[in-house]
Every structure is written in C-alpha cells, then in structure tokens.
Structure 1
Amino acid sequence: MQLTELLSQIDGRQLSGPVDLCPTLLCHDSRQVCEGALFFALPGAQQDGHAFVPAAIAAGACAVVVERPLPVPESVALIQVADCRRAMARMAAAWYGFPARQLLCIGVTGTNGKTTLTYLIEALLRQAGHRPAVIGTISNRFDGYSQPASHTTPESIDLQALLADFCQRGATALVMEVSSHALQQQRVFGIDFAIGLFTNLTPEHLDYHADMEQYFAAKQRLFCGDMPGCRQAVIHLGDAYGQRLWQCRPDALTVALEQDAAVRPLAVRQSLAGIEARIATPAGPVELRSALVGRFNLENLCCALGVGCCLGLDTEALARALGQVAAVPGRLERIENTLDALVLVDYAHTGDALEKALQAVADLRPRRILTVFGCGGDRDPRKRPVMGAVAVAASDLTVVTSDNPRTEDPLAIIDQICAGIRDPRVVRCAPETVPPVGSAYVVIPDRAAAIAWAVEQLRGGDVLLVAGKGHEDYQIIGSRKQHFDDREQLRLALRQRGALPRNGR
C-alpha cells in the first residue's frame, strides 16, 4: 500500500521528505523494524518512542510518525501528527482493509465480568446465526483456532491484523473485551461497535489512571466519545458509575438486579447446581437455567440478556443460548474432588471482585469458607489492605500468600495485605496452630505450599476459593515468568490427599 493512501486516513498532519513510498510493514516497536517499515513513535508512561526513532531508521524505516519534530535523513518521510496512537489506529485499519467493517462488533467494558460476558455473548451470537470471534483476557479465538492473549485488548496494529485474520477464517461477528488502557490509548479508535456493554466500575488500574474519574472517563469513551463509539448501549445500573453513564446515554437498554430496569430478575433460586431465574426483558420474561453460580453471575446473565435483546433474539433463543454456557476458565471454575467440598478457582484480583466471589459462595451456605489469595507486585498497592479486609470478613479461614510479586518483595506485599486485617475477632495463627472454631488467617508466602495446606484443611461441606490468578498458567517472580497454574496445584494437592476423582486431571 502506498504511503499516500495511508496518509489520507489522518487529518492535520505535517509531512517532510518523500511521499512516493510503499511501506513494507507497520510497527511501533523499533526491534521489529525491517527494511521499508513505517515506524510509529508512541509516547508512553515508561518509555517514549521518539527516543527510538534513530534506531528505527538505522534498521531500515522509510517513514516515521511522530508528535514533535525530529531530525531525520532526507530519504526518510517524517509525518508529524497531534496524536500518534490515533493516527496508528486509523492507518492500521486501512493497511488491513478495514476488517471491522465486515464484522458485527460488540464491545464489553467495565472492571469485572468482561471475560464471562464474552463467553455468554459468544453463545448468543451463535444462536443469532453468526460465526463469532472473541478477543479477551484469556485468549483470542475463532472456530477452534485460539492464541494466548498478551493484552486484554491488543495494540491497534496487532488488533487490526487479528481482525483481518478472523475475517479471512470466516468470522462474521466479534465480541471484544475493551480495556480502559485500550480506550485511553486509542487502540480501538475507528471501530464502529454495534453494541457496547458497561458492567461496573470499581478501583483497579489506578497505577495507570490517576484516579477513579480518569478511569471512568476512559471507559466512557466507548459510549459517549469520538471513536465513533457504539450505536446501541447496554448499561448495568448496579453502581454509581453506571447511573452516571446512563445520563450521557439515555437511549441505553438498562440492566439491574434490584432497581427498575429494562432487564431485571423477577424470581431467583440459587444452589450448588447453578441459577434458576425468571427475568424480565423487552422481549418478554425469560425462564433461565444456568450452571454458573453466584449473584455476580446473575448480573452477568442479565447483562448478556440485554445484549441478546439488542440482537433481536426471542426469549426461547436467549434461554437456550445462555443455558449452554456451563463454565468459564478461571471464573469460579470448579475443581472436582471426593471430599464433598466445593473447590473453586477465580480470577478475582480486586477488593470488589473478591467480595463478589465470596458473596457468591456464601449464598450457597457452606459449612466453612476457606480463601487463598495474594496481590500482584508492581500494581496499585492501595487495593492490598482492602483485599485483606474483604477476605477475612467473609472467610472462616484465610491464607495470605504470593500472587505475581514481579519486582517487589513478596513479604512486603503480604505485610500490606495484612495491614488491612484489623478486625479483633480475626486471629493470626501459625499454620500448625489454627483454632478449630472462629475466624483466623495464616501467612504462607509460597503459593504452592499455601494451596496444599488449604486442601489439607478441607472437610465435607466446606468451600475453598483460590483467588487472584484464575486462568493464568504462570507466576512472575522478579523478571522471570515460570509455569504455575492454581488448578494444577489444587489437583496435585487433592491427589496427594487421595481426594482426586479417578477421572480428575
């Protein structure tokens, strides 16, 4: 593709150097530059891409996109724009032939629930006759093809390449987790979302966003921004930010558990087998049975029903599609055992998500609740004491351990978690001296040892929740990424205790 065709996608540019070029590659990482590449000098929180322009040119870049003037050889095209990321998104879409225009695009944003909802909406899209692709936290997948996801929402060049690949494979629809980073960094700029869904907003990513207002402003762009945003909106009114978002999108289809909304439960029964509910929708009442458990999954099901109504599905089709989703990897995922205990793995890694997961298991009225969790390093430290307080408030026995400490001292992270445990009724104990009754917590820094110890404490009727990592199959210690899967560790511990079923893996 000629450079002039790419330049036609962006306004307000300043150009110097040759224009009769045909770039061979678009890239934003100078290490990926090859002869004839077009390099985008992205400003970043840690590194500024402008500093890598000389390296990109030395590696063969024929053109560079920048936000401020830089000296370059006369043979190199210098394109100065107001927003490098926005320019990259538009030029990448053109480079790959605007693949999003061939897809019915649905974007899901919010702090919690995005991954589960992509699985639910994927089922709805199939029911509506589409061939859906999915981009999200766990994987990017379509029709049996899957690749691990490095970001919740890829950078725009990678995103457009992925969309083009999905189109080539035969996809007709897309459901995408849209992160606040992606919205703030223009990764999805130019994608016309048919439906946008807002789940909730709770403290998270405040190591990136300065405060909750900036976090909300990023999320809001999907609904009230200039991307062009979404044509139809589904908004969960369960928190104050959903109410605020509704003010700027009064045309939205609303969802709530307890407030008056277009989609709301009329009757609910929860058990270990899942959720049975009668739910009001614009298409009429839906009689729903789902294997998913917990109040927050009831919220997810209601949000998905809202999307299904926007897709024009009738009540029978809605119930049939959602009833087919039995489990979501790492989201209250069950680990089978012979102890007559419920063992669950969940991705909950914020105070709000952990509270919702624990409320979900408390609603099942277990004999005891045991919780194993930690907090990631090099991430917002403000959530650590909050998660400590939440865990012990809802658990009979809490095990504080490591998550992904990254470059931080694991023991320092644990100390910050424990600083939030101030309830005098909750006793800190050594692992060998836990009292038989009352609430207590122990500290076992090694995550594998913490999981094994918790399994040893399990009795019939108990629930064990291992939270924080969910579907992740790695642990990051220092700068080293090593294999670690909570589900594997639980099965190993259950096997050692003789409590893994014969077909358990």
Structure 2
Amino acid sequence: MLLSFHDSHPHFIYHWGLSDTSFNSITYDSRKVEPGTAFICVKGTRTDGHNYLSQACEKGASIVVGTDADRLEQGSVQYPNTTFVQVSDAQSFMSYLSILLYDRAHEKLKTVAVTGTNGKTTVSSFVRSLLNKAKVPTGLIGTNGVWDDRIRRNFNHTTHTTPEAPDLQYIFHRFYEEGLQAVSLEATSIAIEQKRVDGVTFDVGVHTNLTPEHLDFHGSFDAYKRAKLKLFRHVKTAVVNLDDQGMSHDIINEFRGPLLTYSIKEEADIYVKNMTVTSAGTSMDLYIKKERIPVLVPLFGEYNISNFLASLGACLHLHVPVPLLLEGLRTITPPEGRFQIEESLSDYKIIMDFAHSPDALTNVITAVKSFSHRKLIVLVTGAGGGDPAQWPNMGAAVEGQADHIVVSVDHPDRLDRRDIVTGVLSGFQDPIHPSISTALDRAEGVHKALSYAEEGDIVLLTGIGFVGHQFVNGEEVPYSETETLEQYFLSEKNQKFQT
C-alpha cells in the first residue's frame, strides 16, 4: 500500500522523509513490527508508544506515526530511511490507515454494529443466525470470538470484544474475500472512545440498553452515555429499544435516518404481547409494523426476547423478507454462555450466563425463576478487570434471590482476590448469612455451587466464564467452564465408585 502526502489526510500535521511511502501492515505493538510495517505510537494509560520508536525502526518499520513532534523529528535524523508522520490523533489515524490498507472492505459488506451495556453478544449472534438462515452469508465479531458463516475463526483478536482497527479491517477484508456478504459485531463504548471504528459508517446501529458500567474508564455515567451515542452519528439506520430509559430517547431525538423501535412493554415498530413460557421456549404474539404473528421462539427470559426483537429490527433494515425471518427464528439459540442450559450431567439443571453487571444479573435470575425448581443456587462474581464500584452492586442484586449464594472472582489480574470478594460482600445487608459462602477462584466457586445442589434444583453460574481464559497477574491463564464442570462430575463419579 502506498501512502502519499500529496493529498490531505485526517489528523495529518507534518511528515519527515519520503512523500510517497509504501507499507504492508499496521501495528501499535513494536514487537510485531516487520519490514514494511506502519508503526503507530499510541499513548496508553501504562505506556507511550513513542518510547518504542527506535525498536520499531530497527525492525524495519517503513512509517512511524505519532503525536510528539520533537521525538519524531529526532527519529527522522537517526533513521533517514524511515518516514515519520506527525498527526493530531494517532488512534483515529490508525483506523484511517487500516481502512486504506484493506481497500475499504467494510463498505463491500453489510455491517451491523450493536452497542449497549447488556445484550451485545446475544443480539449480534442472533443477527448472524437470522441472516445465515436467510441465505445471507454473515460473520460475527465480538466477545465470543470471530466467526464466519459456519465456524469459529482463529483471526488475531487483540481485544476481547471490538478488535483494534488494523485487526478489525483485516477481518472485514478476509470476510469479503471469502464471499461473506454481511458482518455483525459488538461495538463497545471503550472501542468507540478509542477510535477503533473511526472512519466506518455502519449500515445498521443497534441500541440494547444503558446502565452504569466502565465508569472507571469513562469517569462518569454521562461520559459513558456520550461514548455510546457517538456510534449513531456513523450509522445509516438505527434500531432502538423503547423500554430503555438510559438513552433511547436521545437516539430518537438526534438520529435523522431510518429508525425502527422495539419493545416488550408497549407498542413499537416491533413488539410482543401475551408472552407465555413453555418447556420449549416462549410463545407470544409478535407484531411487526402492526401485523400480528403468533410465534414460539426457543428462548427464555424477557431480556432474551428483547434481544431477539432487536435482531429482527436489524434484519428488517437490511431488507430481509419477514417469512425468511420467521423461518430463522425456529432454530435461533443464544450464543455460548448466554442462558446456556445443561441437563445431561446431573439430575439438577445447570444454567450458565455471562451476566456480569447488576442489571444483567437481575434479568437472568428473574428468567431462571420461571423454571420449576426446588432450590436455586447462584454463583456471583466480582470482576477484577471491571469497575470496582460495581462489586457491591452485584452483591445487592443477588441478596435474597437464591437459597444459596457463592461469591467468587473473575479475572483478578493484579488485584487481591480477597479484596474483590470483600467488595461484593459489602453490597449485602447480611454478608455473614449462612446461605452465603465464598471462593477465591472461579473453578473453586463453580465446584462449591454444584456441591450444594440436589435433584430438582437449579444452579445458576454467572460471570465471565466463557472467554476461554482468566486474567491473572497480567497474563491470560487458560480457563474452560465446560472443563471445570466435567472435572467436578468426574471427581464426584470417582468418589462414588470408591465408596
């Protein structure tokens, strides 16, 4: 790819070296630099990419981009064969370069971006499922990894939800080259704020809900909300949840393009009435632009029905015929770790759900209680990589909602596990109640929750157990919720055999 400075570029200020410079890859990690790489000096919270400028040049970077004019000019003297570029915003410029490198691949696909505090993974997964069923080959990018229209892919995925711009644009490019026609992705507030999707206009933007989260990053709920709203300045059409008071009205008031609303509580462009839970799922009257359609969907919980309606709205914006959508809803299922039911391992029901915010925890507990059961045992966690202010709120959300509660830890990273557990317990009015126990390790917490269960009970395992690892002391330590369950029942089986 040839980068020419004869033309204007977003955020460009000045350059030293060749006016026309070629590059074949982009990175902000100097360890990944190879000959011909464009190295972007990003200033993060822990380090400054300008500190690795020399390392990148020694490894063959053809272009170095940054914001510090003095250090870039010094570098140009030391490395005259490298082009140095000063910009006003390195992260946004990285997204712009990535779009150029991969020939605007996102514009050749239909793109659906889903944002909200809860439901992003489920909605984006539902969109992929419905579009593939409608013979529109569709990929997925999000918390559960990168999927094409058939299988999970092993693409580089530097962050665990919305990839950094070079990775994101590369995935778009590969999807297009492989014949996919659409992609559904999660757009987090942090990704939006860090300019990972700058320069991209999505065909559809979906809003699920807004409750406090990531306030440690954004600084305030208002800043968090503003980050989410930015997405809807860069979408052609919008889907909005009328039931959410967090920011639905802001989008409706500000957005000027085609917009569809959905609701499980009131009339909207897409809404439901007469929901009834059955053993096979939820039966209801579905209304699409006032046309009544009786349906049964294999989903449980009002929040999952809401997510389903959001996905319908996205597909309608992409002009998928309603009969094809109705065909697709018969086989639609939540993604791994989202209200995932396991009944084959024991004589009690195990339900696994990613719920890691107070609102999501409340929703999933409400849904679980619609099932017949004797006792309800809940595993709740505090996330070391999340906002510590949420820990007590998790405790408050679960107190009094189960017969036994196990408080544990997800992704402690460099934090003390005991501090995280104590933080969750501080939200209980009676943290020493005999129905409450603790475990400092998630696997231990899962096993402890299972140990309380008997025939006819429900064990609800919540938290971030399905991302394939736990962050411990700055490193990704492999972790599998499925293997943790299997280990428990294998151990239990062995104990019974020995007895």
TM-score (norm 2): 0.91
2:83 equivalent among 77, 80, 91? 77
Assess, with a 3 A threshold, how the Cα gap between structure 1 residues 85 and 296 changes in structure 2: closer, same or farther. Answer: same
Distance in 2, Cα, partners of 1:21 & 1:249: 40
1:343 and 2:346 correspond: no
- Alignment partner of 2:176 out of 157, 162, 167: 167
**Cα distance between partner residues in 2 of 1:402 and 1:87:** 38
Residue 496 (structure 1) shift: 4.1
Cα pair distance change 1:447/1:343, threshold 3 Å? same
Cα pair 2:5 2:19 within 8 Å, conserved:
no
More moved, 142-151 vs 128-137: 142-151
**1:103 lines up with 2:106 in the alignment:** no
Verify the 8 A CA contact 1:335 1:490 in the aligned structure 2.
Answer: no
Question: How far apart, CA to CA, are the structure 1 residues paired with 2:201 and 2:28?
Answer: 23
- Does the C-alpha gap of structure 1 residues 55 and 483 become closer, same or farther in structure 2, counting only changes over 3 Å? closer
The alpha-carbon deviation at position 479 of structure 1 amounts to 3.3
Q: How does 1:103-252 map to 2 (within 5 A)?
A: 103-147=109-153, 149=157, 150-224=159-233, 229-240=234-245, 241-249=247-255, 251-252=258-259
How far off its partner does 1:182 sit? 1.5
Contact 2:134/2:328 (8 A) holds in 1: no
Seq. identity, %: 28
Tell me, in whole angstroms, the C-alpha distance in 1 between the residues paired with 2:141 and 2:457: 35
SS at match of 1:329: coil
Q: Which moved more, 1:183-192 or 1:285-294?
A: 285-294
Distance, in Å, in 1 between the alignment partners of 2:150 and 2:254 is: 39
Deviates more, 1:89-98 or 1:334-343: 334-343
Distance, in Å, in 2 between the alignment partners of 1:335 and 1:327 is 13
Secondary structure of the corresponding residue to residue 351 of structure 2 = strand
Q: Which residue of 2 aligns with 1:311?
A: 318
Other-structure match for 1:463:
458
Q: In structure 2, what residue type is equivalent to 1:39? A: F
Q: Match for residue 302 of structure 2?
A: 295
Residue 25 of structure 2 corresponds to 25
The whole-number CA distance in structure 2 between the counterparts of 1:471 and 1:360 is 20
Conserved 8 A contact 1:281-1:309: no
Q: Deviations over 1:6-54 (max 9, x none)?
A: 9654364322222232224322111112233221111222222222223
Partners of 2:358 and 2:7 lie apart in 1 by 45
Alignment partners' CA distance in 2, 1:5 and 1:124:
44
Instruction: Give the equivalent residue in structure 1 for 2:38.
Output: 38
Residues 348, 470 of structure 1: 8 Å contact kept: no
TM-score (norm 1): 0.90
- Cα distance change on mapping 1:306 and 1:193 into 2, 3 Å: same
**Of residues 355, 358, 377 in structure 1, which corresponds to 2:384?**
377
Shift of 1:145: 4.3
Partner of 1:435: none
Kindly provide the CA deviation profile for residues 297-330 of structure 1, in whole angstroms up to 9, marking residues without a partner as x.
0111111122232233343322211221234201
Q: Contact between 2:41 and 2:90, CA under 8 Å: does it hold in 1?
A: yes
Q: In the alignment, which of 269, 282, 289 is matched to residue 289 of structure 2?
A: 282
CA displacement at 1:468 relative to structure 2: 0.5
Would you say the 8 A contact 1:9–1:91 is kept in 2?
A: no
AA partner of residue 456 (structure 2): G
Q: Aligned pairs, how many?
A: 483
Per-residue deviation, 1:403: 1.8
Which whole-Å deviations, capped at 9, do the CAs of 1:128-182 have from their partners, x for residues lacking one? Answer: 4311111111111113342354421111111111111111111111111111122
- 5+ long unaligned stretches in structure 2: 495-499
Cα 1:68–1:261, aligned 2, differ >3 Å: closer, same or farther?
Answer: same
Cα 1:109–1:210 change in 2 (3 A) is same
**Partner AA of 1:179 in structure 2:** T
Amino acid at match of 1:59: K
Report deviation, 1:245: 2.2
Q: What's the offset of the Cα at 1:99?
A: 0.6
CA distance in structure 2 between the partners assigned to 1:179 and 1:305 by the alignment: 21
Which string of whole-angstrom CA distances, capped at 9 and with x for unpartnered residues, describes residues 194-245 of structure 1?
A: 1110101112222211111111111111113xxxx11110011222222222
Paired letter, 1:163: F
1:482 and 1:42 map into 2 onto residues whose CA distance is 26
Deviates more, 1:61-70 or 1:290-299: 61-70
* Deviation, structure 1 residue 495: 4.2
In structure 2, what residue type is equivalent to 1:366? Answer: H
- In the alignment, residue 471 of structure 1 is paired with which amino acid? F
Residue 334 of structure 1 and its aligned partner are, at CA, apart by: 1.3
In structure 1, the residue matched to 2:412 is 405
Instruction: Give the corresponding residue for 2:66.
Output: 66
- Are 1:490 and 2:485 an aligned pair? yes
**Residue identity opposite 2:419 in structure 1:** A
